Amino acid sequence: MSIAVLGAGAFGTALAVSLARKGPVTLWARGAEQVHEMAESRENARRLPGVKLPETLTVTSDIETALSAETLLLAMPMQQMAGFLQAHAEALAGKTLVSCAKGIDLATGQGPTGLIRAHVAGARAAVLTGPSFAADIARGLPTALTLACTDHSEELQAELSTPTLRLYRTTDTTGAELGGALKNVYAIAAGTVIGAGLGESARAALMTRSFAEMQRIALALGARPETLSGLSGFGDLVLTCTSAQSRNFRLGRAIGSGEGFDPSITVEGVATAKALDRLARERGIETPIAAMVRALTEEKIGVSEAMQSLLARPLKEE
Q: β-pairing, 57-60 with 124-129?
A: unpaired
Residue 204 among known ligand-binding residues: no
Residue 197 among known ligand-binding residues: no
Q: β-pairing, 71-74 with 96-99?
A: parallel
SS3 sequence, 95-109?
CEEEECCCCCCCCCC
Residue 258 among known ligand-binding residues: no
Residue 305 among known ligand-binding residues: no
Residue 235 among known ligand-binding residues: no
Residue 132 among known ligand-binding residues: yes
Buried b (16+ CB within 10 A) or exposed e, 256-265: beeeeeeeee
Residue 136 among known ligand-binding residues: no
Task: With CA atoms as reference, report the closest residue to 310 among 196, 234, 218, 230.
Answer: 196
Residue 4 among known ligand-binding residues: no
Residue 187 among known ligand-binding residues: no
Chain-centroid distance of CA 137 in Å reads 14
- Helices 173-195 and 288-297 pack at an angle, to 10 degrees, of 60
Q: Could you tell me how many helices (H) and strands (E) the chain has, helices first?
A: 16, 10
Out of 52, 183, 300, 316, which one is annotated catalytic? 183
Residue 8 among known ligand-binding residues: yes
Residue 62 among known ligand-binding residues: no
Told to judge if 316 belongs to the known catalytic residues of this protein, a careful annotator would answer no
> Do the Cβ atoms of 131 and 236 come closer than 8 Å?
yes
Residue 300 among known ligand-binding residues: no
> What are 218-223's contacts with CB under 8 Å, separation 24+?
218/174, 218/175, 218/178, 218/179, 218/182, 220/283, 220/285, 221/174, 221/178, 221/283, 222/174, 223/172, 223/174, 223/175, 223/178, 223/179
C-alpha 75/C-alpha 44 separation (Å) is: 15
Residue 30 among known ligand-binding residues: yes
Residue 11 among known ligand-binding residues: yes
Q: Which residues are documented as binding site?
A: 7-12, 30, 102, 130, 132, 134, 183, 236, 246-248, 268
Q: Which residues are documented as binding site for NAD(+)?
A: 7-12, 134, 247
Q: Which residues are documented as binding site for NADPH?
A: 11, 30, 102, 134, 247, 268
Q: Which residues are documented as binding site for substrate?
A: 102, 247-248
Q: Which residues are documented as binding site for sn-glycerol 3-phosphate?
A: 102, 130, 132, 183, 236, 246-248
Catalytic residue numbers, as ranges: 183
